A and B are shown apart, each in its own frame.
Chain A
Amino acid sequence: MPPQVTGSNPALAARGVSKSFDGRKALSGVDFEVGPGEVVALIGPNGAGKTTLLSILAGIAEPDSGEVTGDGVAWVPQQAALYRRLSVRENLLLFAHLQHDAGQTAENPEQMVTRMLELTGLADRAGDRVGTLSGGNQQRVNIAIGLMADPSVLLLDEPSVGLDPAQRERLWGFVLGLVGEGTAVAFSTHDIQEAERYAERIVVVAEGEGIFSGTADELRQAVEAGAAGGGPAAAGDLETSFLAFLRERGH
């Protein structure tokens, strides 16, 4: 299924991206795009290729074929990539210096850290060691590092894994605040409700192939259309629709 194009100038786009690991196909000709200020959820079963696709979009991994276009992309890994023995401030300062030295930002590192502490609401925990923070707060620091260079696109790999509902709520409040300022967000998740709740568009990946791109309602409609054509029946909630959709397509 071709991707649903959100506009003529996507903030980040991938065309026909393929990737194999030791002869095993991880991605097979996947198209993907996210428009400015858009929130896109990437869903699919385990091993579907979501993390691989995000890594390629972030420029961390090279695709075997296909191309990726877009600037100012920041990637936030699934597990907090932080030094647990350093404080929040020391972690932020380290990455601020590294980004400054790498030419990704001209902002003074100290000022950048102050800005990020305000943005994440962690100024009062600046001196605390990261290892002592809750999972939600760790993830906020994790995302803050990704935001240091003021990216136009933020890629989040399963950002809410391990968070309780309250932490998840706070995290999304923070992320949606960035979206309100024009940052595009693409995130992978196993939580269909989270995708439905926060994403404007859902992209389904299964066995390395992009099989759906559209809104949650469009996904339900697609399932109902399949049921009408003799496919498996779908219940009302999106998770059931999603599972039915996968079964219908043999995944």
Chain B
Amino acid sequence: MRWLLLKDLQILKRSPLQLTLLILYPIVIALLVGFAMTREQDQTKVALYNAMPAGEPLGFGGEEVDGNEIRDQLCGRVDCIEADSTADARKMVENGEATAAVIVPEDLGDKIRSLASLSPESPEIQIIVNGSDAVENQVTDDRIEAMLGEANLLLAKRLSEGAKQYLDLILKGGEFDLLGQQIEVLGLQKSEQILKKIEPKLPPGTDKEQLQRAVRFAHLATDNLDLAGPLLTAITEPIKADKVEVGDEAPSLDTFAIGVTVAFALMFVTVLLVAGSLALEKEENAFTRLTAGLVGRGQILVAKVGLGTVVGTGVALILLVGLGLFVGIGWGRAPLWLLALIFGAAAFSAGGAALGAAAREVRAATLAAVMVCLPVALLSLVPDDAVGPAIETAINLVSAVFPFRPTLDAITGGLEISGPSLWLPLLHLLLLTATYGALARLALRRF
């Protein structure tokens, strides 16, 4: 059997294009993915036109928000480009310079201030987006929603601070500016104290009952308005998220990206190589000669799986070393992820052998390999909660009978301690190797 494996490696060596591809492919992929993973993410460009008068503060009471503060808040999550007018902002969106535009109307400040009046108006800002790209539109919508959420939160906090100051004034008393005039407010606490002091000094026969009612009211109001402060703070952000993770710990995004990249490379290299190599035995008429008393069909199959495992693991190793130049690879866990690579390569190789044995022609085998691998691998990446229960079950079933997902789980589990368990995917891959090996052996009976 070793002669068969050596022969396949010799044939591989004799094909400069194939050999170059096998070496260059992981290097190029590692460079592309590595650069993509380490590059600063471009922020969404948003055109901003602020039609409000310069320096006009927003808010009411003692708490006011500077226009620049709002702008900083809006532009914290996006890259803002100043526009000179609404038309200018619209043009930026239309010609692709900006993915969206935010128009702050002239009367925004008035409308925000009206919230503290008896006739409140709803403050609005205008958003312009380019509807020609559905995916980008969705991303932009999400970004702008988050951006507005931040701005609204800032305003709500400041408004609640202003309201709290009014409440303090009513409670504790103080001075209040009204149309440029300072007005002194006594406050409920002082009112209560004053009334309590007056009560003993009232002449007999006075209706003390009415005075005592006023004292009780001032006392009750003081106690209850004390609670209003925390309440106002709470309503600016009534629900805070306390994230608790349950189930298997997910690997970091970097580890997941490395896992997906390596699993894809492993899949394509091994399945295509083994399927094509086995079909080539038939095309070169060598299979019949080999099986005419020299070697068994099973031995040929094992040699092909061995070829795919050796070459696939080698390619995946080059890829991992390349990625290691850009992102951290757990070299201390090398024995674990190496095990994952070997088991994954063996399972993919057995799958490739089954395809090659069934197809019996190199072209058909290659086509079948691409047509099977690509959709199943992509399906395996669909998050469980992105589809309905029935489709999720179907996807899980398909993913379970193909080595991509267990290979991905094994690689991420091998790379990161917080990743999924390593041993279950390895067992899964072992079962798939045996199953596909049996199918390939069956197909070789009529090869």
Q: A102-127 interface mask toward B, CB cutoff 8 Å, 1 = contact, 0 = none?
A: 10100000000000000000000000
148-165 of chain A: CB within 8 A of chain B: none
Q: Check B289–A94 contact: CB distance below 8 A.
A: no
CB of A81 within 8 A of CB of B284, answer yes
* A129 contacts across to B, CB distance below 8 A: 14
A105 vs chain B, min Cβ distance (A): 11
Knowing A85-B11, A85-B14 touch, does A97 contact B286 (C-beta < 8 A)?
no
Instruction: Indicate the size class of the contact surface on chain A.
Output: 20 to 34
Instruction: Return chain A residues, CB-CB under 8 Å to B293.
Output: 59, 102, 104
**Which residue in chain A gives the minimum CB-CB distance to B3?**
A97
B286 contacts A82, CB within 8 Å? yes
Q: Interface majority SS on B: helix, strand, loop or mixed?
A: helix
* B257-315 contacts to A (CB < 8 Å): 284-286, 288-295
B7 close to A (CB within 8 Å): yes
CA distance A102 to B1 in the complex (A): 11
- Interface assignment of A90: CB less than 8 Å from any CB of chain B: yes
> What residue in chain B is nearest A79 (Cβ atoms)?
B285
- A85 contacts B15, C-beta separation under 8 Å: yes
Q: Flag whether A225 is at the interface (Cβ < 8 A).
A: no
- A174 vs B291: C-alpha distance when bound (angstroms): 26
A98 touches B295 (CB 8 A): yes
Contact A77:B285 (CB < 8 A) given known A83-B11, A90-B10: yes
Within 8 A of A (CB), among B1-15: 3-4, 7, 10-11, 14-15
Cα separation A90 to B290 with both chains bound (whole Å):
15
A93 to B293 alpha-carbon distance, docked (Å): 17
Q: Is the interface of A mostly helix, strand, loop or mixed?
A: loop
Contact in complex: A95, B294 (CB < 8 Å): yes
For A83, A97, A99, the residue with the greatest tally of chain B CB atoms inside 10 Å of its CB is: A83
Q: Which residues of A contact B286 (CB under 8 A)?
A: 81-83
A98 B294 Cβ-Cβ under 8 A: yes
Query: Is the beta-carbon distance between B289 and A102 smaller than 8 angstroms?
Result: no
Closest-CB distance, A24 to chain B (whole angstroms): 16
Contact B284 A82 (CB under 8 A): yes
How many Å lie between the Cα of A75 and that of B294 in the bound state? 12
Residue of B15, B288, B295 with highest tally of chain A CB at under 10 A: B288
The CA of A145 and the CA of B293, in the complex, are separated in Å by: 13
Q: Is the CB of B3 within 8 A of A81?
A: no
Q: Is the CB of A86 within 8 A of B292?
A: no
Q: Closest A-chain residue to B7, C-beta based?
A: A94
Q: Which residue of A59, A79, A90, A97 is within 8 Å of B292 (Cβ)?
A: A59
Nearest Cβ on chain A to B203's Cβ, whole angstroms: 123
**B-side contacts of A99, CB under 8 Å:** 294
**In the bound complex, do residue A98 and residue B3 qualify as a contact, i.e. CB atoms below 8 Å apart?**
yes
The 8 Å CB contact of A86, one of B4, B10, B295, is: B10
Q: Considering the chains assembled together, what is the distance between the CA atoms of A79 and B285 in angstroms?
A: 7
The distance in angstroms between the C-alpha atoms of A137 and B290, with both chains bound, is 21
Report yes or no: A86 in contact with B7, Cβ–Cβ below 8 A. Answer: yes
Q: Is the CB of A145 within 8 A of B289?
A: yes
Q: What residues of chain A lie closer than 8 Å to B295, measured between beta carbons? A: 98, 102
Residues of A within 8 A of B (CB): 58-60, 75, 77, 79-86, 90, 94-95, 97-99, 101-102, 104, 129, 145
Give the 6 A-B residue pairs with the shortest CB-CB distance, closest first. Answer: A81-B285, A81-B289, A85-B14, A98-B294, A97-B3, A79-B285
Q: Tell me the B residues contacting A by CB distance below 8 Å.
A: 3-4, 7, 10-11, 14-15, 284-286, 288-295
